[in-house]
Amino acid sequence: MKLLFSSWQAWALLSAVFAALTAIFAKIGIENVNSDFATFIRTIVILLAIALMLFVTGNWQAPDIVSAKSWLFLVLSGLATGASWLCYFRALKIGNAAQVAPVDKLSVVLVAMFAVLFLGERLSPAHWAGVAMVAGGAVLLALKI
């Protein structure tokens, strides 16, 4: 079991499961709530949950030992996350979860492209085929047929 939870694949799969639950829970939860306020509530819950996790695991670290570069990119990541959540909740408010979530997952395609362009990562032809299939699947799920 320890080996299972030391692999990135297990954590990524759990992330996908929780992301799927997020869409379902959020769609139900925002029924009579402004989407921006719903995002605010979600953010508070996440902040408290992560603070508790840091406390329980003892993984808190002094903020002053974090480099300026790390601070910059973590703040930018936080701003991007916030913008993503606001857009996602607004899309869920007006659209179907089964269509909104796959379009949101086009982030997989964008991450692959950005990783190649900005991080110098390389993808094999098989990886590019997978990226194309994710893109195609998202488009097909988003269509109202």
**Interatomic CA distance for residues 14 and 8, integer angstroms:** 10
Confidence (pLDDT) at 142: 86
Confidence (pLDDT) at 6: 82
Residue appearing with tokens 């606001």: 86
> First-to-last CA distance in the chain?
43
Confidence (pLDDT) at 143: 84
Which amino acid, one-letter code, is at 31?
E
Confidence (pLDDT) at 2: 72
Phi-psi region of 18 (alpha: psi -120 to 50; beta: other; left: phi over 0): alpha
**Interatomic CA distance for residues 12 and 15, integer angstroms:** 5
Confidence (pLDDT) at 7: 86
- Largest Cα–Cα separation, the chain: 54
Confidence (pLDDT) at 9: 87
The alpha carbon dihedral of 106, 109, 112, 115 has a sign of negative
For the chain, which residues make up each domain, given as ranges? 4-104
Residues of the chain with pLDDT under 70: 1
Q: What is the pLDDT of residues 91-100, one digit of tens each?
A: 999 999 989 9
Q: What is the pLDDT of residues 17-48, one digit of tens each?
A: 999 999 999 999 999 999 999 999 999 999 99
User: What are the helix (H) ranges across the chain?
Assistant: 8-29, 35-57, 68-94, 97-104, 106-119, 125-142
